[in-house]
A and B are shown apart, each in its own frame.
Chain A
Amino acid sequence: MSSLSPPQMTSDVAAPQAGRGFGMLQFLLPVVVLVISVAVWDLVVRINQIPPYVLPSPGAVIGTLIADWDILWQSLLTTLLTTFEGFVAAAIGGIAMALLFSRSKWLEFSLLPYAVILQVTPVIAIAPLLLIYLPQQTAVVVCAWIVAFFPVLANTTLGLKSVDRNLAGLFKLYRATPIQSLLLLKLPAALPHILGGLRIAGGLSLIGAVVAEIAAGSAGAGSGLAYRIAESSYRLNIPRMFAALLLLSMAGIVIYMLLALVSHLVLRRWHESALGKES
């Protein structure tokens, strides 16, 4: 496999000194794996003449993606909106809960176990119940929230507890009010942890939204991507299932990258995690 050292390596990408070849390799290797996998997939379908309703070829999937673009695009927007609502609710809920817990041990002791229970109970098992008691759109958002809020809560709590003891002493010495301590010390100190939690929550809210849509299934009036997958499955429209799946993973990747970018931009001037190789 001498193709592993491709000629593009000499392109003038501004990478840090020593890590240059390594950085390119890190980017290229997954691409190589993708190309090989798709090629094998295509070959297997062709050689065995597998019919599209069992396993469509990559070309057929792309074709469906283009042909059904209007429907799929609308569904993608629906799912993304749900994900976004769930994510925002998880971010606000998780951070607010952590702040309350840090203020009151009573609240923490009373409520934390239930937060853990919500987290460890598989959401796919809760979703059908929520769909009975709540309007469908609300139920879907609540599912996204349930899955996503815990990492925000746990990370924010950790962040609030990791405030430098001497800095806290300094705030005490200068008689900072609780609000001053919160805004000038605790939240900034917890920020790297909070952003880490949000990065996890982004992907999880997509999962929560998808799970709820699947649970709602044909019974619902939903039109999200997961609903398209369920619908296509009943109709044996396998290429469209693949196309919808492809869009979902792309959405997940984009969400993750966006949140990683936000985290990097916010922390780049001071936090170790964002400083990279230059020192």
Chain B
Amino acid sequence: MMAEPAARLSDSATPRGFAIKLAGVSKTYDNGLVALAPLDLDVLKGEFVSLLGPSGCGKSTALRIIAGLIAPTSGQVQVAGRASRSIGFVFQEPTLMPWATVRDNVRLPLRLAHVAREDADRRVSDALARVGLAEFAETYPRELSGGMKMRVSLARALVTDPDVLLMDEPFAALDEITRFRLNNDLLVLWRELHKTIVFVTHSVFESVFLSQRVIVMTARPGRIESEIHVDADPRDESFRTSAAYAAFCREASTALARASERKGAS
């Protein structure tokens, strides 16, 4: 199966209001494995979008391409303000440096960017306070619980004040109670900080609860099966138990089941 030729976009073509624009982005690995079929995706500034799909559908690949961690085989990737370290990335594992304290872990992006010490200290403290870990600055990662490690990881992603936050199944390894709490806290952060968030998950419930738009992807090679717009106001604990939430979850589950059946039908 050949990728379509990359769609042409002039550099100035990112309309105001778009944070991320993928046009015909595909990824074929050296061993011939097609991880991502040509994907078109627009994410608005300040939007919370989830990529939902079965394992191996290329949703993580798409996220890594947006981050610039891997190069696409074809297609165009545009991230508004990409030049200025405006992307924060949260991995599935906390991905902390075990030899450094929480403070030094969160400080890392600033240190790599040669931000002055005083300025960095203040921003690190702010970020830690935001995720509720102000008192744990001098702790080493091994002394923290899984949920707390994830919070450190989130603080590190926020410390550069990025426009775009990319999250790769960040809460998948946590127990449900911890995950619910982190979901709520993430929504508060999103509302307060006006970040654009792309959230990869394989949990129907998580995607519906968190995002304004759920993009359901098919199994390998990944394509967009359908999009679900989740209108919810207010989006808080009451939403989690509402009939609307259940309906959205049913819709997403049905789409996901359809997407999984399509496996191999590329």
Binding site for B on A (CB under 8 A): 164, 166-167, 169-176, 180, 184-185, 188-189, 191, 269-271, 275
Contacts and interface: CB of A to CB of B under 8 A. Distances in A.
Interface string B89-116: 1010101011110000000110111000
Candidate in A164, A271, A275 with the most chain B CB atoms within 10 angstroms: A164
Contacts of B56: none
Interface in B126-161: 140-142, 160
B112 A188 contact: no
For A170, A176, A180, A270, the residue with the greatest tally of chain B CB atoms inside 10 Å of its CB is A170
Nearest to B140: A270
16 contacts: A164-B95, A167-B97, A169-B69, A169-B91, A170-B89, A172-B68, A172-B69, A173-B67, A173-B68, A174-B109, A174-B112, A174-B160, A175-B112, A184-B112, A269-B99, A269-B140
A180 B142 contact: no
Contact of B95 (A170, A174, A188, A275): A170
A48 B112 CA distance: 74
Complex A-B, nearest 8 residue pairs according to Cβ-Cβ distance, in ascending order: A166-B95, A174-B112, A166-B91, A270-B98, A188-B99, A174-B109, A270-B99, A176-B112
Task: Give chain B's interface residue range (CB within 8 Å of chain A).
Answer: 20 to 34
Contacts of B89: 169-170, 173
Count chain A CB atoms within 10 A of each CB in B68, B99, B142, B160 and give the residue with the most.
B99
Interface in B30-64: 64
Which among A166, A172, A189 has the highest number of chain B CB atoms within 10 Å? A166
Contacts of A174: 85, 108-109, 112-113, 160
B112 A180 contact: yes
A189 B91 CA distance: 19
B97 A185 contact: yes
Contact of A173 (B69, B98, B100, B141): B69
A166 B99 contact: no
B124 interface: no
* B interface: dominant SS: loop
B87 interface: yes
A173 B108 CA distance: 12
Which secondary structure dominates chain A's binding surface? helix
Interface of B: 64, 67-69, 85, 87, 89, 91, 93, 95, 97-100, 108-109, 111-113, 140-142, 160
A172 B91 CA distance: 14
Contacts of B93: 166
Nearest to B98: A270
A185 B87 CA distance: 20
Contacts of B87: 173
Contacts of A166: 91, 93, 95
Contacts of A172: 68-69
A191 B113 contact: no
Nearest to A192: B99
Given A167-B95, A170-B95, A173-B87, 6 more contacts: A170-B91, A171-B112, A173-B89, A174-B85, A175-B112, A270-B142
B100 to A, nearest CB: 8
Contacts of B113: 174
B69 A188 contact: no
Nearest to B67: A173
Nearest to A188: B99
Contacts of A171: 112
Contacts of A189: 97, 99
A175 B85 contact: yes
Nearest to A269: B140
Nearest to A167: B95
B108 A184 contact: yes
B101 to A, nearest CB: 9
Contacts of A164: 95
Contacts of A180: 112
Nearest to B95: A166
Nearest to A275: B142
A180 B111 CA distance: 9
A270 B97 CA distance: 9
A190 to B, nearest CB: 11
